Structure 1
Amino acid sequence: MENDTLYFEANRSLWNQKTPVHLRSEFYNMPAFMAGKTSLNQIELAEVGPVNGKSMLHLQCHFGQDSLSWARMGAKVTGIDISDEAIKQARELNSQLSLDATFVRSNLYDLKENLEGQFDIVFTSYGTIGWLPDLDKWADIIDHFLKPGGTFYIAEFHPVLWMFDDNFSEIVYPYHNTHEPIITETEGTYADREAPIKQKEYGWNHGLGEVITALISRGIYPEFLHEFSYSPYNCFSGMVQGEDGYWRIKGLENKLPMVYSIKAIKRGN
């Protein structure tokens, strides 16, 4: 656990550096977002369903674009993230847009100490669980904050992608979680590869069986598991955009699963 704390602090520092870069990036396109464009993708919009009037907990929300997009659709959203800078910016955006979202700075594993209540929906998406070493603790947090009969939803990059090196030329990392961190040091960030950011980051890969078993063990049962051969984002090296507007790895188009989604319901009255 002591080592995990060191990993979390290193990652928190990294995301504090990334946040201002992301806010300025074309990737996040803040002018369009501020003008009313949703940051959500068709995958989650189609699968989560109506949110108007529902309470939503958004885990690992970054600087709140998706949280605020759900709030624009009528959800009562609480977003949490480990990054101080991201939460600061999320609160400022919420104020500028005159929305009613709440943002809490917390390590996900410490959330019981920093937040009260239960929610109709717990939501997380794209590049989140890879920062967590233990999905049993993750599922425990979801169970704690999700109302009986409530919906958990995740859209996430497929664990097969994280097995490859940066150029997708060879497999270098395990599919299964070994509980030892995958340590990488890259320059820039997916939203701006030229950004002056260079720091080690610590991550963990989680196979689909691990994800589903962690949820089921808490009585949160999937309605579906969907896998997609494309990404909504141009966020990996060597991607090409198809006629459908989605992104795939050049030379491996439609050969790799790139995204998966799970919608699950918590048993109870």
Structure 2
Amino acid sequence: MEEIDYLAVNRASWDERVPIHVASDFYDVAAFQGGTDTIREFELAEVGDVTGRDLVHLQCHFGLDTLSWARKGARVTGLDFSETAVTKARELAEGAGIGARFVAADVYDAAEALGETYDIVYTGIGALVWLPDLTRWARTVASLLRPGGFLYLAEFHPFAAMLDDETGTTVTYDYFDQGPHVWKFPHTYTGSEVLENDTTVQFQHGIGEVVSAVAAAGLRVEFLREHDHTLFRRFGTLRPDGPRFRLPEGSPAVPLMYSLRAAASIR
């Protein structure tokens, strides 16, 4: 495969997506501005009370989840590689009257760019596929954590990425093919606006790779939980269940998401 600058290609795509996403029903910025938050129920239960704690959100996009954690009582910092996204996040924070720090930097440069440590490192859903090296990522996470702090990760399950797009019942893709995968789609996931920067480069990471990287970075895995729901209609057969989507009742359940929490040692 011809070598491709994954970071430049992906940044161009995400820069272009920011205004489209901000205007979309999917993100519903107006509802956020009206006082709602975007943190999922299972995340709240698994992260616990964040009141008075310092939380950094890696790969934060334009900051809705970051600012939602602030509404839950955390002191928040968001980091994203898109200057366009970070600029919008700052505007939203100011408009909502929420104290927050947003920094533009590649996630691998987070420790240097932020210059601080945190009680919680939170990384949002759909983040890991943009990273080629999870060992380096996990070391970065560990360097950002204070003694006794923890990483919380909620992600789409890599098993689901093997399945066909229509039914979600047929194994179609190779679980162990890490990529890079170069994808070309005319639209982003929020609507029909045609993208000029329609190419992205993604990387597939299995559960074993994620857990091994976290453990090798010196973090202690507290739990790894697999979930039979997801947050969008990934397969045509999925049915809405409140804010989530599941396979139809009576169908064999498969893991569609997972969550992981891992703690730094108390030194």
With structure 2 as the length reference, what TM-score do the two structures score? 0.92
How far off its partner does 1:220 sit?
A: 0.6
Distance (whole Å) between structure 1 residues aligned to residue 69 and residue 208 of structure 2? 29
Q: Does the aligned pair in 2 maintain the 1:128–1:156 contact within 8 Å?
A: yes
- How many pairs align? 264
The two structures, once aligned, show a CA RMSD in angstroms of 2.1
Partner residue in 1 for 2:173: 173
Instruction: Give 1:202-241 correspondences, 5 Å limit.
Output: 202-231=201-230, 233-238=231-236, 240-241=238-239
SS at match of 1:187: coil
Q: Identify the residue that residue 265 of structure 1 maps to in structure 2.
A: 263
Aligned partners of 2:42 and 2:226: how far apart in 1?
A: 11
Letter of the structure 1 residue corresponding to residue 153 of structure 2: I
Distance 1:144 1:153 in 2: 15
1:163 corresponding residue in structure 2: 162
Helix, strand or coil at the partner of 2:189? coil
Contact map agreement 2:165 2:236 (CA 8 A) in 1 = no
What displacement does 1:113 show? 3.0
SS in 2 for 1:176: coil
Counterpart residue identity of residue 258, structure 1: L
The letter of the residue matching 1:58 is H
- 1:160 Cα offset (Å): 1.0
Aligned to 2:135: 136
Distance 2:171 2:85 in 1: 32
Question: 1:99 and 1:216 mapped to 2: Cα distance?
Answer: 35
Alignment match, 2:105? 106
CA distance in 1, matches of 2:252, 2:52: 38
Shift of 1:30: 1.1
Once the two structures are TM-superposed, the CA of residue 244 in structure 1 deviates from its matched residue by 4.7
More divergent stretch after superposition (138-147 vs 248-257): 248-257
The answer for unaligned runs of 5 or more in structure 2 is none
Structure 1 200/23 Cα, relative in aligned 2: closer, same or farther at 3 Å? same
User: Is contact 1:81–1:108 with CA below 8 Å preserved after alignment?
Assistant: yes
Question: 1:175-194 CA distances to partner (integer Å, 9 max, x unpaired)?
Answer: 2354x3011111211121x1
CA contact (8 A) 1:190 1:235 kept: no
CA 1:118–1:254 in structure 2 vs 1: closer, same or farther (change >3 Å)? farther
The yes-or-no answer on 1:35 pairing with 2:34 is: yes
Offset, 1:169:
6.8
Look up the match of 1:47. 46
Q: How does 1:73-152 map to 2 (within 5 A)?
A: 73-152=72-151
Residues 238 and 249, structure 1, Cα contact 8 Å, conserved in 2: no
Q: Write the distance in 1 (CA, Å) between the matches of 2:161 and 2:71.
A: 33
Contact in 1 for aligned 2:60/2:78 (Cα 8 Å): yes
- Provide structure 1 residue ranges, at least 5 long, that are not aligned to the other structure: none
Q: Which runs of 4+ in 1 moved over 6 A?
A: none
Task: Point out the more displaced range, 196-205 or 52-61.
Answer: 196-205
1:195 shift after superposition: 1.7
Matched letter for residue 44 of structure 2: L
Aligned to 1:139, the other structure's residue is in SS state helix
Code of the residue aligned with 2:257 in structure 1: it is V
Instruction: For 1:173, give the aligned amino acid.
Output: Y
Deviations 1:26-46 (A, max 9, x none): 111111111111111011011
Amino acid at match of 1:71: A
C-alpha separation in 2, matches of 1:80 and 1:235: 28
* Structure 2 residue matching 1:28: 3-state secondary structure: coil
Q: Is the Cα contact below 8 Å between 1:230 and 1:254 reproduced in 2?
A: no
Q: Distance in 2 between matches of 1:166 and 1:187?
A: 17
TM-score, normalisation: structure 1: 0.91
Question: Structure 2: how far apart are the matches of 1:12 and 1:37?
Answer: 28
Q: Say whether the 8 Å CA contact 2:25–2:190 is kept in structure 1.
A: yes
